[in-house]
């Protein structure tokens, strides 16, 4: 902790394939601002690590993570247990001339540190707005606002981006020099998380139109 | 450990939103056999959890995880440190009438336990075939086979599915009863990881056709 932002610490320096390591905040933010789900690592009973899929959002120099007040792991994280939040965007399958060089194209961010719980009502409301905007921009102002009892039932963790790094692999395969002469096709099958047409809840009256923010969300993620 | 397969242990029982908990092996296997990337939790120096994106594959009653011999975290896992492998498939954004009830549709599997390293050459070769088939079916037999030094540079961990659970959320939002009267659109924007057209490595001669297994891979993941 306490590292200069943008400079890797001993713990965040990308050791494996260091040529893929990225430490500038703009690159880290761009990955965080594109993902929809993160994976939160917390140590549970008996030293067992748990990895949970979580909603998250970036609020300036912090990431906010959304959980339930009733979750033991979230309570442990809120009490200061060390955590790791990893966000991975899968961009393609890299099919090399050799099995060994075949890999994935991806962009991932790893954030290490200690989280604090957002406890005051105004802070929780602002945090839920941030988390909701990551999930679906515009839906917070469109939908029914959180009630006090809903805020109470929600744990929001704030994790500073002080110790964060990204790893990015893109482009064609890197094969061994000799393998380029083999009569083998190599390349990338690009992948993206794409949206289909919005599906109204069956309880929504058929004459109620899909609101613009939902249509826009789906449009932006259509291949 | 030692739990009856298909029955939740104290550690794998889904506590939050237990109605989403799934413990039958067929459902767990189906999720594992659709994902392309997992998130492996391992405890590093100073009790810091790390969550790493990893390639994986299912080999019967085990999952295999692919890493580098040079990674300290993989060495710790191979030496018997407890691990958690989580695989999450994102199926949609659930836009409810309230912010609080808005969520994601997803299918996730959590595997807890202790891994062992696959150390013999034949076992590693079989494991790499399994991992390669998860990434891109048919590419192992098509591409140049692993060399002994490549097998040496690869760590494959074998993690039994003894302690595994799944969590599945699907369908429309579950809003509070009163909220159904609000004049608000609610529904799901479906999401899927979809493939684009295969992109040949620029070093591949232009007259070399995309092989059938690559075309089929892209076709199966095209929306």
B83 in contact with A, Cβ within 8 Å: yes
Confidence of residue A183 (pLDDT cuts 50, 70, 90): very high
Q: What percentage of chain A reaches a pLDDT higher than 70?
A: 91
Residue of B50, B146, B154 lying closest to A41 (CB–CB): B50
Tell me B177's DSSP state: G
Mean pLDDT of chain A: 91
A106 in contact with B, Cβ within 8 Å: yes
Torsion of CA B115, A175, B37, B147, to 10 degrees: -30
Residue of B95, B128, B153 lying closest to A136 (CB–CB): B95
Residue in B34, B49, B166 to test binding to A, most A beta-carbons within 10 Å: B49
**Closest chain B C-alpha to A26 CA, distance in angstroms:** 21
Nearest residue in chain B measured CA to CA from A214 = B189
Using CA atoms, how far apart are residues A194 and A220, in angstroms rounded to an integer?
9
Confidence of residue B20 (pLDDT cuts 50, 70, 90): confident
Q: What percentage of chain B reaches a pLDDT higher than 70?
A: 91
Contact A7, A165 (CB under 8 A): no
B218 in contact with A, Cβ within 8 Å: yes
Residues 167-206 of A with CB under 8 A from B: 172-173, 179-180, 182-204
Contact B14, B165 (CB under 8 A): yes
Given a cut of 60, is residue A2 above it in pLDDT?
no
The pTM of the whole model exceeds 0.95? no
Using CA atoms, how far apart are residues A130 and A124, in angstroms rounded to an integer?
10
How many Cα atoms occupy the beta-carbon half-sphere of A205 within 13 Å?
7
Contact A97, A183 (CB under 8 A): no
Given a cut of 80, is residue A213 above it in pLDDT?
yes
Mean pLDDT of chain B: 91
**Closest chain B C-alpha to A140 CA, distance in angstroms:** 6
- Chain B residues lying within 8 Å of A223, measured CB to CB: 194, 196, 223
**Rounded mean pLDDT, B62-71:** 84
Beta bridge partners of residue A194, listed in sequence order? B192
Contact pairs from chain A to chain B, CB under 8 Å: 296
**Rounded mean pLDDT, A73-81:** 91
Confidence of residue A52 (pLDDT cuts 50, 70, 90): very high
Range with the poorest average pLDDT among A50-64, B3-17, B64-78: B3-17
Confidence of residue A15 (pLDDT cuts 50, 70, 90): low
Express each pLDDT in A107-147 by its tens digit. 999 999 999 999 999 999 999 999 999 999 999 999 999 99
Express each pLDDT in B153-174 by its tens digit. 888 999 999 999 999 999 999 9
Residues 23-52 of A with CB under 8 A from B: 36-37, 39-52
Beta bridge partners of residue B157, listed in sequence order? B65, B117
Contact B117, B73 (CB under 8 A): no
């Amino acid at each position: 902790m306490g590292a200069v932002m943008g400079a890797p610490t001993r713990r965040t320096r990308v050791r494996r394939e260091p040529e893929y390591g990225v430490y500038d905040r703009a690159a880290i933010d761009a990955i965080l601002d594109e993902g929809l789900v993160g994976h939160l690592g917390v140590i549970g009973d008996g030293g067992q690590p748990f990895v949970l899929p979580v909603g998250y959002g970036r609020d300036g120099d912090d990431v906010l993570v959304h959980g339930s007040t009733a979750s033991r792991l979230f309570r442990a994280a809120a009490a200061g247990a060390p955590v790791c939040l990893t966000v991975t965007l899968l961009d393609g399958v890299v099919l090399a001339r050799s099995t060994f060089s075949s890999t994935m194209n991806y962009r991932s961010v790893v954030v290490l540190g200690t989280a604090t719980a957002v406890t005051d009502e105004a802070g929780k409301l602002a945090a839920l707005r941030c988390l909701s905007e990551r999930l679906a921009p515009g839906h917070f102002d469109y939908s029914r606002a959180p009630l006090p009892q809903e805020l109470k039932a929600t744990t929001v963790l704030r994790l500073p981006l002080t110790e964060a790094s990204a790893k990015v692999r893109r482009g064609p395969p890197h094969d061994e020099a000799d393998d380029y002469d083999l009569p083998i096709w190599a390349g990338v099958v690009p992948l993206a998380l794409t949206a289909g047409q919005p599906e109204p809840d069956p309880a929504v009256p058929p004459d109620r139109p899909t609101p613009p923010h939902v249509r826009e969300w789906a449009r932006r993620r259509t291949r």
